[in-house]
């Protein structure tokens, strides 16, 4: 909405006078886990209908002050993104396709009736924050710093309409290797009747509300020893959509990659799009279309489907060994990760960590 700002991107910087001492930071970086520890600073940009985007700043990480009537607390006007900072062998720090995240953040903002943050401002916020907190980006193999940009509506008003005030923030959390003990295939649970997103809903927007809707079925998954839930389409409960926070792929024995076509209720993952491109580069065939659950079941049982995996920024690729539900189990729990799964994961992470040439210009240097 306010695009003039993008031409005069200037962040004021207030340094944290009490950053975490180096020994403590190093202890965290030895074993960061995921999403548990946060760096010394955060980025913030405010928006009001009159002023547009203003007051871009880097400030010490800390609690937000919110009026109890803030719209986000009542009507869930909230969107977010997730991307990573990767440290390369020469010490430089890079991120992967940030303009795609910035554009998706705009798409999410439109759907949630929130202001669109200019792409340049989104990327600049990452550069500013990662530069000041670069000591927090770990360097051990397959580690990274997970970057979480988000926007909340914070007008103090209980009336139901789009808020006239919003705040954009970015926080960063060091992340350990997702598969610390090698790539372990996971079991997933078929949601029994609960949906994540319907036609015309917010499924294509990356918003907290979608996650809230996925948590109850996720609980059912955990209770049944599964790490994630698979959602089918909300109308017919027949076609594959995605997991709570990852897209899904099947691999046929002839090497063809199958993935559900995104049609409004599936989030368009950047990992998904990147894997489709890499698969094409590798000469694999691709089918993006509606995929019935039955095709998976029959395919695994007949040997036609040889591999299944989920993908998203956090895990990159997670191999799936079995699909379970109240009435059936398909697949073999002891099956190792498949050949195509392993090759695609290696290809993508080699680019992200600077071990292979970035022929698609996907990397942006942050620090």
Ligand X SMILES: *Cc1c(COP(=O)(O)O)cnc(C)c1O
Tokens in use for 234? 């909300």
Note whether 270 binds ligand X by CB under 6 A.
Answer: yes
Note whether 98 binds ligand X by CB under 6 A.
Answer: no
Interface pick for ligand X out of 204, 233, 242, 307 (rule CB under 6 A): 242
Note whether 206 binds ligand X by CB under 6 A.
Answer: yes
Interface mask (CB under 6 A) for ligand X, residues 69-88, using x and -?
Answer: -------------x------
- CB-based contact 58:74 (threshold 8 Å): no
Residue 198 to residue 52: CA distance in whole angstroms: 32
Helix (H) or strand (E) holding 129: helix 119-132
Interface pick for ligand X out of 149, 174, 245, 299 (rule CB under 6 A): 245
DSSP 51: T
Interface pick for ligand X out of 144, 187, 313, 341 (rule CB under 6 A): 313
Residue closer to ligand X, measured from CB, 58 or 83: 83
Least distance in angstroms from the C-beta of 312 to ligand X: 4
Note whether 246 binds ligand X by CB under 6 A.
Answer: yes
Note whether 241 binds ligand X by CB under 6 A.
Answer: no
Note whether 35 binds ligand X by CB under 6 A.
Answer: no
Residue closer to ligand X, measured from CB, 219 or 332: 219
Note whether 175 binds ligand X by CB under 6 A.
Answer: no
Which alpha helices (H) appear in 177-231, and where do they start and end?
A: 208-223
Note whether 201 binds ligand X by CB under 6 A.
Answer: no
Residue closer to ligand X, measured from CB, 11 or 249: 249
Outline where DSSP puts E strands in the chain. Answer: 12-13, 41-48, 52-60, 78-80, 83-87, 93-96, 144-153, 165-175, 186-190, 228-232, 240-243, 247-252, 257-260, 286-289, 305-312, 316-324, 329-331, 363-365
Note whether 345 binds ligand X by CB under 6 A.
Answer: no
Note whether 123 binds ligand X by CB under 6 A.
Answer: no
Residue closer to ligand X, measured from CB, 132 or 171: 171
b/e per residue 239-262 (b: at least 16 CB within 10 A): bbbbbbbbbbbbbbeeeebbbbeb
Residue closer to ligand X, measured from CB, 58 or 145: 145
- CB-based contact 320:185 (threshold 8 Å): yes
| CA 353 to chain CA centroid, nearest Å | 18
Least distance in angstroms from the C-beta of 239 to ligand X: 16
Residue 162 to residue 75: CA distance in whole angstroms: 9
Least distance in angstroms from the C-beta of 258 to ligand X: 17
Residue 307 to residue 309: CA distance in whole angstroms: 7
Interface pick for ligand X out of 217, 312, 319, 338 (rule CB under 6 A): 312
Interface pick for ligand X out of 271, 306, 322, 352 (rule CB under 6 A): 271
Least distance in angstroms from the C-beta of 269 to ligand X: 3
Least distance in angstroms from the C-beta of 37 to ligand X: 21
Least distance in angstroms from the C-beta of 99 to ligand X: 13
Note whether 272 binds ligand X by CB under 6 A.
Answer: yes
Tokens in use for 300? 């695994």
- CB-based contact 111:208 (threshold 8 Å): no
- CB-based contact 189:325 (threshold 8 Å): yes
Note whether 269 binds ligand X by CB under 6 A.
Answer: yes
Beta bridge partners of 329: 324
Note whether 149 binds ligand X by CB under 6 A.
Answer: no
Note whether 247 binds ligand X by CB under 6 A.
Answer: yes
Q: List CB contacts of 361: < 8 A, sequence separation 6 or more.
A: none
Residue 105 to residue 150: CA distance in whole angstroms: 9
Q: List CB contacts of 225: < 8 A, sequence separation 6 or more.
A: 187, 324
Residue closer to ligand X, measured from CB, 40 or 241: 241
Residues that bind ligand X (CB under 6 A): 82, 206, 242, 245-247, 267, 269-272, 312-313
């Amino acid at each position: 909405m306010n695009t003039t700002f993008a031409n005069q991107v200037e962040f004021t910087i207030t340094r944290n006078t009490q950053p975490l001492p180096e020994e403590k930071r190093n202890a965290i970086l030895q074993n960061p886990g995921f999403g548990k520890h946060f760096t010394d600073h955060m980025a913030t940009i405010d928006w009001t209908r009159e002023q547009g985007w203003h007051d871009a700043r880097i400030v010490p990480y800390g609690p937000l002050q919110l009026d109890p009537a803030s719209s986000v607390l009542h009507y869930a006007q909230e969107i977010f993104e997730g991307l990573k900072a990767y440290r390369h062998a020469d010490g430089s720090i890079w991120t992967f396709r940030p303009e795609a995240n910035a554009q998706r953040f705009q798409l999410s903002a439109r759907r949630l009736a929130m202001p669109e943050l200019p792409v340049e401002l989104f990327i600049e916020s990452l550069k500013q924050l990662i530069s000041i907190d670069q000591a927090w980006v770990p360097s051990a193999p397959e580690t990274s710093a997970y970057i979480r940009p988000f926007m909340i509506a914070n007008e103090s008003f209980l009336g139901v309409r789009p808020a006239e005030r919003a705040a954009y923030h970015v926080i960063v959390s060091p992340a350990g290797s997702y598969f610390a003990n090698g790539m372990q295939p996971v079991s997933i649970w078929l949601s029994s009747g609960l949906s994540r997103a319907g036609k015309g809903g917010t499924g294509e927007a990356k918003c907290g509300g979608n996650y809230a809707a996925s948590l109850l079925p996720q609980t059912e998954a955990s209770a049944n020893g599964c790490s994630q839930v698979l959602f089918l389409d909300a109308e017919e409960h027949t076609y594959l959509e995605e997991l709570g926070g990852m897209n899904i792929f099947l691999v046929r024995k002839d090497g063809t990659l199958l993935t559900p076509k995104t049609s409004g209720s599936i989030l368009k993952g950047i990992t998904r799009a990147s894997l489709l491109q890499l698969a094409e580069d590798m000469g694999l065939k691709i089918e993006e279309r509606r995929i019935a659950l039955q095709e998976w079941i029959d395919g695994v049982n007949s040997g036609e489907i040889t591999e299944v995996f989920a993908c998203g920024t956090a895990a990159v690729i997670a191999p799936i060994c079995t699909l379970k539900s109240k009435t059936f189990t398909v697949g073999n729990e002891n099956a190792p990760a498949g050949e195509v799964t392993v090759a695609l994961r290696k290809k993508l992470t080699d680019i992200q960590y600077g071990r292979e040439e970035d022929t698609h210009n996907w990397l942006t240097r942050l620090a």
